[in-house]
Amino acid sequence: MTEGQGGTAVEVKGLVKRFGRGESLITAVDGVDLDLAAGSRTALVGASGSGKSTLLHLIGAIEKADEGVITVGGEEVTALGRGPAARYRQRVGFVFQRFHLLAALSALDNVLAPVLPRKVDFDRAARAGELLDAVGLAGRHQALPSQLSGGQQQRVAIARALIGRPALLLADEPTGALDSATGEGVMDLIHELAEQYGFTVVTATHEHAVAERAERIVTLRDGKIVSDVASEGS
Ligand SMILES: Nc1ncnc2c1ncn2[C@@H]1O[C@H](COP(=O)(O)OP(=O)(O)OP(=O)(O)O)[C@@H](O)[C@H]1O
């Protein structure tokens, strides 16, 4: 199998996340159970405020759950303290709606940035170059973000998310800032890379055509799973 060992399984049991207190208490994730197979490609859909981003943040250990257990590749993410959670996050790839590239750095240096302070067992520059080629940016390694289109900037962000060889990629509205054709191309690219490099993908999206590109579509409403189906495209 490829470098992400074919991706990692994700198990979510009884997950609850609340924000605020008293009258302003919101249960953003309300008793979610979800099992994702290693190497699977899942879309999370649902209206604005249904809890998609919060669920991704909990799986990625960006937020801490109030109740429930998340296990990723056999590791209990919900039990991790600050240091281990930070190390876990380094092993997860994140892609966001906004690309969050550093404006003063070239595409190549943006991709390299996450691993520069870290000890890694691969040639950083060679891998960054290979990833930029893999996302279709051969020949644009030295371009600044301002010299790239939105779709190209998101491709740089995808390469950056993959530099640490994640077994899990969490994408939060990765196509939200792109026109539909470009966005669908970006989603196809993420899934092609998942196959090539071997990682599990979970994507929050409100775009039907983007969700259909996953194998499985999980719908949230008010923090609860209300539907879980194979996509028609799969
Ligand atoms: N940091 C926070 N503080 C307070 N409330 C929050 C916070 N983050 C999320 N929420 C609330 O939790 C609920 C779920 O939000 P979440 O962002 O997960 O939904 P979403 O489905 O991703 O929405 P969207 O599609 O608009 O991004 C919403 O009611 C939101 O207002």
Q: Determine the Cα–Cα distance for residues 54 and 66; give it in Å rounded to an integer.
A: 12
Q: How far apart are CA 205 and CA 175, in angstroms?
A: 8
Q: Tell me the CA distances in angstroms from 174 to 3, 128, 169, 171, one per residue in order.
A: 23, 20, 11, 6
Residue 216 pLDDT level (bands cut at 50, 70, 90): very high
Checking if the pLDDT of 1 tops 70, the result is no
- Report the nearest-CA residue for atom 7 of ligand 1: 19
Name the 3-class secondary structure at 84: helix
Sequence spans of domains, the chain: 10-229
Q: Measured between alpha carbons, how far is 28 from 38 in angstroms, rounded to an integer?
A: 26
Q: 191: CA distance to ligand 1 center in Å?
A: 26
pLDDT digits (tens, 9 = 90+) for 102-116: 999 999 999 999 998
Residue bearing the CA closest to ligand 1, atom 18: 51
Query: What type of residue is 2?
Result: T
Q: Is the CB of 174 under 6 A from ligand 1?
A: no
Atom of ligand 1 nearest to the CA of 20: 4
Q: Give me the architecture of the 10-229 domain, per CATH.
A: 3-Layer(aba) Sandwich (3.40)
Taking the chain, what is the end-to-end CA distance rounded to the nearest angstrom? 22
Q: What is the pLDDT of residues 145-167, one digit of tens each?
A: 999 999 999 999 999 999 999 99
Query: Cα dihedral sign for 51, 56, 58, 62?
Result: negative
Report whether pLDDT(197) > 90: yes
Q: Quote the ligand 1 centre to 27 CA distance (angstroms).
A: 9
CB of residue 46 inside a 6 A radius of ligand 1: yes
Residue-level pLDDT at 2: 42
Cβ pair 57, 85 in contact under 8 A: no
Mean pLDDT computed over every residue of the chain: 94
* pLDDT, mean of residues 216-233: 94
> What is the spatial distance between Cα 162 and Cα 102, in angstroms, rounded to a whole number?
17
Give pLDDT tens digits for 81-91: 999 999 999 99
Could you tell me the CA-to-CA distances from 205 to 43, 48, 218 in Å, in that order?
7, 10, 11
User: Tell me, what's the pLDDT at 128?
Assistant: 97
Helix (H, G, I), strand (E, B) or coil at 116: coil
- Does pLDDT of 58 surpass 70? yes
- Which residues is 109 bridged to in the sheet? none
Q: What interhelical angle do 150-162 and 180-197 show, nearest 10?
A: 20
pLDDT of residue 4: 56
Residue 5's pLDDT band (cuts 50, 70, 90): low
User: What is the interface pTM, i.e. ipTM, of the complex?
Assistant: 0.96
